[in-house]
Amino acid sequence: MQPRIQYVRRADGARTAYATMGTGPVLVVPPGGTTHLEWYLNDTDAQRRFCQRLAEPSTLVLYDRHGCGLSDRHRTDFSIDDDILDLEAVVEAVEADQMDLFGISWGGTPALVYAAQHPDRVRKMVLYGTFAVGAKGPGDAWLRRSEALESLRRSDWELYCKTRASLFFPSGTDRETFQSFVRMIRDSTTPEMAERLDASTFDNDTQALLPAITTPTLVLHRRGDQVCLFPWGQYLARRLPDADFVPLEGDAHYPWVDDADSVLRPTLEFLTGATEAAVANAPPARGDGTAIILFLDIADSTARTEQLGDAAFHRQARVLDEQLRRTIVEAGGTPIEGQVLGDGVMALFSSARQAISCAIRCSNVGNASGLPLHAGVHAGDVIREADNAYGGAVNLAARIASASVPGEVLVSDTVRGLARTSADATFEDRGEHALKGIADSQRLWAVRT
């Protein structure tokens, strides 16, 4: 998944830099304090792996806030309203009617405000190492540190960057990660802008918003965090009506440092709805072997585009794509992220029963959305490369899907044999079919529930 860095103009004309990775439900990460997209995406293996894991089931969206990184550096307004302009512009650019939010550090503030303002658009929210209290609360500790660092910031920018970095990793970390964070602070903005951004960090008090935020929320916080203290996370979880709290060990402020899996595991389970058991039963994300292949494609997409118009069809198809990928993960499958045929979605399963059950659920989702699907299931060897799957079995699954009528699930004779005694369905013989590009005719079966 190669990230694409693009630019969008905010309502006030300022340019905001953003990047996307992966396909599927949109997951937006509001920036935590000063950021730089190139650092986030390219600087260390730990950060790259963290982003790639988040992007496996999602369209991961990262951006630089106004005044930082690749976004416009000139900034005079340091209010939360100005930061919301960044978030709104990026959400519009990626055409997200619904999204999940992952607020890290200061990024929790715009996440909370946006969720309060747009409850119908935020599906789920994860908050890591963040806070809700303004300068008159626990923020005093950070303000005192900022005042102590102010003279150092003005006199020795490089030393200031190193000193500040040490606060984020009080127990120390490997030299590569530490030096990476120093580079990010140094390169993300100017000393003058950093001073004003730091001073505004705790100007925004979101306490009053919390009881009205009904978005399902997961709050994660490391016990030893010295930038955002552990009780701040506990406070958030208590005040949010629909929140779960997961305490984590360690003191590193950023989630990809030290035990990143302790953050990723509950985050991905919460966002996808898949349990650890479902993930364990899914086919491996890498490596060749035999798999059950589900192929889904929007029926008569050309006619529906003409009927709805390009923009409306694109929006409707994107929402459907997100719903299908979420359904696949919930059913224990692995959605393929790479390019597939037409408007298709492909997934791999380790069980024919799982694949058929998922195909039925996906077909119902397509019917409900007004975009009925062709659905086909086959089993065979696949070749895995990067984020895609190839091979004759993959091509055959796509051809079986194309042979189905809209809203119908067709399976190969191989799949019918595997699932005959385990699937909660019966099979209606559709006879032999000559499929385009397939030398031998194939006996196909329609799934009946």
Structure tokens at 12: 């006030």
Report the b/e string of 146-178 with b at 16+ CB within 10 A.
beebeeebeeeeeebbbbbbeebbeeebeeebb
CA–CA–CA angle 390, 394, 400 (5° rounding): 160
Query: What is the predicted pLDDT for the residue at 278?
Result: 44
Neighbours of 87 (CB within 10 A): 25
CA–CA–CA angle 446, 448, 449 (5° rounding): 155
Query: What is the predicted pLDDT for the residue at 380?
Result: 87
Query: What is the predicted pLDDT for the residue at 400?
Result: 94
Query: What is the predicted pLDDT for the residue at 422?
Result: 60
pLDDT tens sequence across 236-265: 999 999 999 999 999 888 898 888 889 999
pLDDT tens sequence across 50-67: 888 898 888 899 999 998
Query: What is the predicted pLDDT for the residue at 174?
Result: 65
Does the pLDDT at position 147 exceed 70?
no
* Across 84-93, 132-141, 310-319, 364-373, least confident range: 132-141
Where, residue-wise, is CATH 3.30.70.1230 in the chain?
A: 283-448
Strands 243-248 and 409-412 come out as unpaired
pLDDT tens sequence across 111-121: 999 999 999 99
Contact partners, residue 166, CB within 8 Å, separation at least 6: 178
> In angstroms, rounded to a whole number, what is the distance separating the alpha carbons of residues 334 and 172?
37
**Mean pLDDT highest for which of 10-19, 186-195, 271-280, 437-446?**
10-19
Q: Are 244 and 140 in contact (CB under 8 A)?
A: no
Which of these, 384, 220, 197, lies nearest to 289 by C-alpha position? 384
Query: What is the predicted pLDDT for the residue at 310?
Result: 75
CA–CA–CA angle 223, 225, 231 (5° rounding): 60
Q: Cβ-count burial of 426 within 10 angstroms (0-12 exposed, 13-18 middle, 19+ buried)?
A: exposed
Q: Write down the CATH superfamily of domain 4-272.
A: Alpha/Beta hydrolase fold, catalytic domain (3.40.50.1820)
Does the pLDDT at position 279 exceed 90?
no
**Mean of per-residue pLDDT scores for the chain:** 83
Q: Please write down the HEC assignment for all residues of the chain.
A: CCCEEEEEECCCCCEEEEEEECCCCEEEECCCCCCCHHHHHHCCHHHHHHHHHHHCCCEEEEECCCCCCCCCCCCCCCCHHHHHHHHHHHHHHCCCCCEEEEEEHHHHHHHHHHHHHCCCCEEEEEEECCCCCCCCCCHHHHHHHHHHHHHHHHHCHHHHHHHHHHHHCCCCCCHHHHHHHHHHHHHHCCHHHHHHHHHHCCCCCCHHHHHHCCCCEEEEEECCCCCCCHHHHHHHHHHCCCEEEEEECCCCCCCCCCCCHHHHHHHHHHHHCCCHHHHHHCCCCCCCEEEEEEEEEECCHHHHHHHHCHHHHHHHHHHHHHHHHHHHHHCCCEECCCCCCCCCEEEEECCHHHHHHHHHHHHHHHHHHCCCEEEEEEEEEEEEECCEEECHHHHHHHHHHHHCCCCCEEEEHHHHHHHCCCCCCEEEEEEEECCCCCCCCEEEEEEEC
Confidence of residue 156 (pLDDT cuts 50, 70, 90): confident
Does the pLDDT at position 166 exceed 90?
no
Tell me what the mean pLDDT of segment 82-99 comes to.
Answer: 93
Choice between 413 and 309, residue whose per-residue pLDDT is larger: 413
Where, residue-wise, is CATH 3.40.50.1820 in the chain?
A: 4-272
Of the chain, the percentage scoring pLDDT greater than 70 comes to 87
Choice between 46 and 251, residue whose per-residue pLDDT is larger: 251
pLDDT tens sequence across 218-241: 999 999 988 888 888 999 999 999
Q: Write down the CATH superfamily of domain 283-448.
A: Nucleotide cyclase, GGDEF domain (3.30.70.1230)
Q: How far is C-alpha 331 from the geometric centre of its chain's CA atoms?
A: 18
> In angstroms, rounded to a whole number, what is the distance separating the alpha carbons of residues 339 and 345?
9
Query: What is the predicted pLDDT for the residue at 100?
Result: 96
Tell me what the mean pLDDT of segment 4-12 comes to.
Answer: 91
In the chain, the amino acid numbered 117 is Q
Of the chain, the percentage scoring pLDDT greater than 90 comes to 39
Q: What is the pTM of this model?
A: 0.61
